A and B are shown apart, each in its own frame.
Chain A
Amino acid sequence: MSRNPTSDTDYERTGDLRVVVAGGGELGLRTAELLHDRGHNVTLVETDAERAAELSDEYVATVIEGDASRPSVLRQARLDRADVVAALTDDEATNFAVCMAAQRLADVRTVMRTTTTPDDLYAEFVDGVVFPERSGARTAANEITGVGVRTVEEVFGDVEVLEVEIAEGAPVAGKRLDEVRLPRGSIIVVDYQGNRIGGPETVLEPGARYVVAVESDVVDEVLNLLRG
C-alpha cells in the first residue's frame, strides 16, 4: 500500500475517496454530508449509541459505534483501504491520538480538528489541521459587519459554491457550454479568467478553474462531468 497520497502535492486525484470521519457531532455529520454529496465514501465513528442511530438514519455514511481512539474500533473502519482519516471530535487530544493511531495502522492522509489555536508543530505530525471555531468567527464577523464581503467558502442553504478545476479527460473538458447540459440546480458562474460571467460560448478548458454554484443533490453528478 505504498501508493497512498501522503503529501498535498501528489494529492490531486479524480474519482471517489474513502474517508473515515472520527466523531459524529454536528461538524462530523456536516462533513460527511458534503463528502457524500460529492460522491465519496464515508465511514463515521461515533461513541454515543443514540447519536450513532441518528447518524445512520441520515444515510450518508456507514456508522461504526465505538470510541475512535481505541485502535480496535478504528481498525473496524477499514483503514487499510481508506484514503483519508479526519478526526473531528470536540476533544483535541482525542483527535491527535486518532490521527497518530491511524498513521500507525495504515498509510493514510490525516486531518485533525483543533479546538484552540493550532500548535505550530502539528504540521509535523498530521497532514491537515482544521479549526472550525476560527472559520466560524470569520463568518460571524462577516455577518456582523453586514453584506458586502462574503467568502466563497460560505454555504447558503442547499447551494454549494465551488471552485472546480476541469480535469484532463473529464466528460466536458474542451467543450463549449452550449454543447453541455448540466443537471437542473447547477450553474457555471464565472469563467476561468475570473472576469466574465459564464455564457453559452464559454469553453471549459481542461486545467482551468471555474466557480460553480450547485444544489447539494446534484453535486456528485456535476463533479463527475467536470472532474471525470
Chain B
Amino acid sequence: MSQPGERAPAASLGLLDATMVGIGAMIGAGIFVLTGLATELAGPAAIVAFALNGGVTTFTALSYAELAAAIPRNGGGYAYVREVFSAPVAFVMGWTRWFTYMIAGALYALGFSSNFVEFVHLYGVTLPGPPVAYALLAVVVLVALNALSTEASGGAETAITLVKIAILGLFVVLGLPVARGAEFDPLFPNGALAVLPAMGLTFIAFQGYDLIATVTEEVENPTVNIPRAILLSVVVTVVVYLFVVFVAIGTLGPERLAAAGETAVAQAAEGFMPSLPVLGTGAAIIAFGAVFSTISALNAVVIGSSRVAFAMGRERQLPAVLGRLHHRYGTPFVGVLASAAVMLVAVLVVPIGTVGKLASLFSLLGFTIVNVAVFRLRRQQPDLRRPFQVPFYPVTPALGIVCNLLLGLFIDAETWALAVGWLVLGGVVYLLLARSGRTDEGRPEPTAAAEATVADPEPIDLDADVDEETA
C-alpha cells in the first residue's frame, strides 16, 4: 500500500478521564500561586472567597452542562454562543475566551518559574538569571510540543492530575491535625467586603472545567458523561481547595502566609511536613507539586487557546489560516503560534497580580454570556432536546449572571482598562474581517476572497455586502 496515514487519532475519554481534564486545568497555578495573594487581601477570609467562588462557579457549570449535552460541538463556550447569538456577540465570547486561556497561560508560566526556582533552591542550587526567563522557556517548550504533535494531550493527563491531587492530599492529611482554628479569628480583619476583590483575584483558579466542553466529541456516552464530568470536576476541585486553604492558613497563620506571596503553600508545608525518604522535605514535595501542576495546567491552556482560535478560524471569525491544520503535524499550527505570541508578551509585560485579575475578569464576562445563552436558547428553541437541564431554571442561571457581574465590578479600574483595550483591538480585527466579507454569519463568499488572510490582505471592497448585524 502507498503512503497510509501514520499519526494516531485522538483517544476516547471515559467519565474519569473527562473529569480529570477539568480538574487538571483548574488545579494549576491558582491554588499554589494565589492562596498567599488572596490572604494578603482578605486575611483568613480567603477561605470564604474560595468557598463563594465555588458556589458562583457551580451556577455557570450547570449552564455549561446543559449546553454541552445538547449541542454536539467541540470548541467549548465559543461554539455554544456561536449557535445562540449573533455574530458580534459570538466574536466577543471567542475573543475573550481565547485571551483568557492565553493570559491564564502567562499566569501558570509565572507560577511555574517562581516555584521552580524555589524547588531547585531547596536542593541548594541557585539558578542563574531572573525567574521570568524560566517562564518564557516553559511557554516555548510546551508550545513547540503542541505545535509539532497532537499527542501532547490525551490519557497522560489523567495520571498527571491524579498525582497533583495526591500531593495536595498528602499536604491536607498531614496538616489537618496541626492546623489551628484560632488562626481564623478574626475572620475578616480587613472587613467583610475585602472578600470580593479576593474572589475576583482567585476566580481564575476555578476556570478550566470549561475545557471539558472543548473535547466533548472524544467523550464516551457524551450526553450523560459530559454533564457529570463538568459537575464532578467542579465539586472535587472546590473540596480540595477548601481543605488546602484551611490547612495553609491554619498552620502558617494569615500574616506569614500573606507575606510568602506566590510560594505561600510551599512555605506552609515546610512548617509541618516531615522530611520523607526519597521524596525530600515537605516544602520540596509541595514545590514539586506546584511545578508539576503549573506545567500541566499550562499545557492544558495552550491546547485550549489554540482550539478556540481554531474554532474561530473555522467560522471565519478570525483569519481562516487559524482554522487550518498543518499539512505535516496535523495541529492547528498557526493557532498555536498566535496564542504563544500573546502569552509570551503577557509573561514579559504584565505583573502577576494583574495577570490573575485580567484572566478572572474575562472569565467572568465569558461565563455571564454562557448563562445568558441558556436563557436565550430556551426561548429560541423550546423544543430542543436537552439531555441535561439546569435545575431550578430560571433561578440558577440568573444567579450565575448576577454573581459573575457583581464580581466583575469589584475588579480594579486598571484591569478593566486593559480588558477594554483588548476588546477594542478585537473590534478592529472584527471590522477588518467583516469589511473584506468574511464574517457574514460565518458564511464566506465562495470565492478566493475566503482564502485571503490578514497577512495577505485583499483590496477592501466598500460595496461589500456586510451582514446586517455588523452594519
Residues of A that sit less than 8 Å from B by CB: 1-5, 10-16, 18, 36, 39, 41, 52-53, 55-57, 59-66, 73, 76-78, 81, 83, 167-172, 175, 177-188, 197-200, 202, 217-218, 221, 224-225, 228
Contact A225:B325 (CB < 8 A) given known A13-B446, A57-B387: yes
Q: List, in ascending order, chain A residues with CB within 8 A of B385's CB.
A: 52-53, 55-56, 62-65
- Decide if the interface of chain B is mainly helix, strand, loop or mixed: loop
- Whether B223 is near chain A, meaning CB under 8 Å from some CB there, is yes
Are B450 and A221 interface neighbours, CB within 8 A? no
Are B382 and A76 interface neighbours, CB within 8 A? yes
Residue of B nearest to A196 (CB): B2
Q: List, in ascending order, chain B residues with CB within 8 A of A186's CB.
A: 4-5
Q: List, in ascending order, chain A residues with CB within 8 A of B320's CB.
A: 15, 228
Say which residue of B324, B330, B442, B450 sits within 8 Å of A183 (CB atoms): B330
Beyond A15-B316, A62-B71, A185-B5, 10 additional contacts (C-beta under 8 Å) are: A5-B446, A41-B73, A63-B384, A76-B380, A169-B448, A169-B451, A183-B5, A221-B325, A225-B325, A228-B320
Say which residue of B324, B384, B442, B443 sits within 8 Å of A4 (CB atoms): B443
Some 19 contacts from A to B, beta carbons below 8 A apart, are A3-B440, A3-B445, A4-B443, A56-B69, A59-B222, A62-B72, A65-B384, A77-B381, A83-B443, A168-B448, A175-B327, A179-B327, A181-B330, A182-B7, A183-B7, A184-B4, A184-B9, A199-B3, A224-B324
Interface centre among B328, B383, B446 (most CB of A within 10 A): B383
Q: List, in ascending order, chain A residues with CB within 8 A of B216's CB.
A: 59
Interface centre among A197, A200, A225 (most CB of B within 10 A): A225
In the assembled complex, the CB of B50 is this many whole angstroms from the nearest CB of chain A, namely 34
- Whether B458 is near chain A, meaning CB under 8 Å from some CB there, is no
Digitize B422-453: 1 where CB-to-A-CB distance is under 8 Å, 0 elsewhere: 00000000000000000011111110101100
Taken together as a complex, chains A and B put the C-alpha atoms of A15 and B319 apart, in Å, by 13
Are A171 and B446 interface neighbours, CB within 8 A? no
Are A218 and B381 interface neighbours, CB within 8 A? no
- Whether B6 is near chain A, meaning CB under 8 Å from some CB there, is yes
B interface residues, tally (CB under 8 Å): 50
Taken together as a complex, chains A and B put the C-alpha atoms of A16 and B217 apart, in Å, by 16
- Whether B1 is near chain A, meaning CB under 8 Å from some CB there, is yes
Are B446 and A12 interface neighbours, CB within 8 A? yes
- Whether B314 is near chain A, meaning CB under 8 Å from some CB there, is yes
Q: List, in ascending order, chain B residues with CB within 8 A of A217's CB.
A: 9
Are A3 and B450 interface neighbours, CB within 8 A? no
- Whether B393 is near chain A, meaning CB under 8 Å from some CB there, is no
In the assembled complex, the CB of B295 is this many whole angstroms from the nearest CB of chain A, namely 27
Contact A182:B5 (CB < 8 A) given known A12-B446, A168-B448: yes
Q: List, in ascending order, chain B residues with CB within 8 A of A184's CB.
A: 4-9
- Whether B412 is near chain A, meaning CB under 8 Å from some CB there, is no
- Whether B326 is near chain A, meaning CB under 8 Å from some CB there, is yes
Taken together as a complex, chains A and B put the C-alpha atoms of A89 and B117 apart, in Å, by 65
Taken together as a complex, chains A and B put the C-alpha atoms of A2 and B450 apart, in Å, by 17
- Whether B255 is near chain A, meaning CB under 8 Å from some CB there, is no
Q: List, in ascending order, chain B residues with CB within 8 A of A64's CB.
A: 381, 383-385
Taken together as a complex, chains A and B put the C-alpha atoms of A197 and B2 apart, in Å, by 7
Are A171 and B9 interface neighbours, CB within 8 A? no
Are A171 and B314 interface neighbours, CB within 8 A? no
Taken together as a complex, chains A and B put the C-alpha atoms of A2 and B5 apart, in Å, by 41
Q: List, in ascending order, chain A residues with CB within 8 A of B316's CB.
A: 15
- Whether B136 is near chain A, meaning CB under 8 Å from some CB there, is no
- Whether B70 is near chain A, meaning CB under 8 Å from some CB there, is yes
In the assembled complex, the CB of A215 is this many whole angstroms from the nearest CB of chain B, namely 8
Are B71 and A14 interface neighbours, CB within 8 A? no
- Whether B465 is near chain A, meaning CB under 8 Å from some CB there, is yes
Q: List, in ascending order, chain A residues with CB within 8 A of B7's CB.
A: 181-184
Taken together as a complex, chains A and B put the C-alpha atoms of A182 and B329 apart, in Å, by 9
In the assembled complex, the CB of B337 is this many whole angstroms from the nearest CB of chain A, namely 14
In the assembled complex, the CB of B60 is this many whole angstroms from the nearest CB of chain A, namely 21
Contact A65:B383 (CB < 8 A) given known A5-B446, A41-B73, A181-B330: yes
Taken together as a complex, chains A and B put the C-alpha atoms of A225 and B2 apart, in Å, by 18
Contact A221:B330 (CB < 8 A) given known A56-B385, A83-B443, A182-B3: yes
Taken together as a complex, chains A and B put the C-alpha atoms of A199 and B381 apart, in Å, by 50
Taken together as a complex, chains A and B put the C-alpha atoms of A49 and B25 apart, in Å, by 37
In the assembled complex, the CB of B447 is this many whole angstroms from the nearest CB of chain A, namely 9
Say which residue of A3, A39, A199 sits within 8 Å of B2 (CB atoms): A199
Digitize B1-20: 1 where CB-to-A-CB distance is under 8 Å, 0 elsewhere: 11111111100000000000
Say which residue of B83, B314, B330, B387 sits within 8 Å of A16 (CB atoms): B314
In the assembled complex, the CB of A164 is this many whole angstroms from the nearest CB of chain B, namely 14
Contact A185:B223 (CB < 8 A) given known A41-B73, A180-B328: no
Q: List, in ascending order, chain B residues with CB within 8 A of A61's CB.
A: 72
Contact A171:B326 (CB < 8 A) given known A13-B444, A15-B444: yes
Residue of B nearest to A73 (CB): B383
Are A36 and B72 interface neighbours, CB within 8 A? yes
Taken together as a complex, chains A and B put the C-alpha atoms of A161 and B388 apart, in Å, by 36
Are A56 and B223 interface neighbours, CB within 8 A? yes
Residue of B nearest to A10 (CB): B446
Top 7 closest pairs, chain A to chain B, by CB? A182-B5, A63-B385, A169-B451, A13-B446, A171-B327, A186-B5, A56-B385
Contact A76:B383 (CB < 8 A) given known A81-B441, A171-B325: yes
Residue of A nearest to B467 (CB): A1
Are B223 and A59 interface neighbours, CB within 8 A? yes
Residue of B nearest to A41 (CB): B73
Are B443 and A180 interface neighbours, CB within 8 A? no
Say which residue of A77, A180, A185 sits within 8 Å of B327 (CB atoms): A180
Q: List, in ascending order, chain B residues with CB within 8 A of A180's CB.
A: 327-328
Are A200 and B381 interface neighbours, CB within 8 A? no
Q: List, in ascending order, chain B residues with CB within 8 A of A183's CB.
A: 5, 7-9, 330
Q: List, in ascending order, chain B residues with CB within 8 A of A202's CB.
A: 2-3
Taken together as a complex, chains A and B put the C-alpha atoms of A27 and B398 apart, in Å, by 40
Taken together as a complex, chains A and B put the C-alpha atoms of A12 and B445 apart, in Å, by 10
Are A177 and B3 interface neighbours, CB within 8 A? yes
Interface centre among A15, A66, A178 (most CB of B within 10 A): A15
In the assembled complex, the CB of A190 is this many whole angstroms from the nearest CB of chain B, namely 10
Say which residue of A14, A57, A171, A218 sits within 8 Å of B450 (CB atoms): A14
In the assembled complex, the CB of A15 is this many whole angstroms from the nearest CB of chain B, namely 7
Say which residue of B2, B6, B451 sits within 8 Å of A228 (CB atoms): B451
Digitize B298-332: 1 where CB-to-A-CB distance is under 8 Å, 0 elsewhere: 00000000000000001110001001111111100
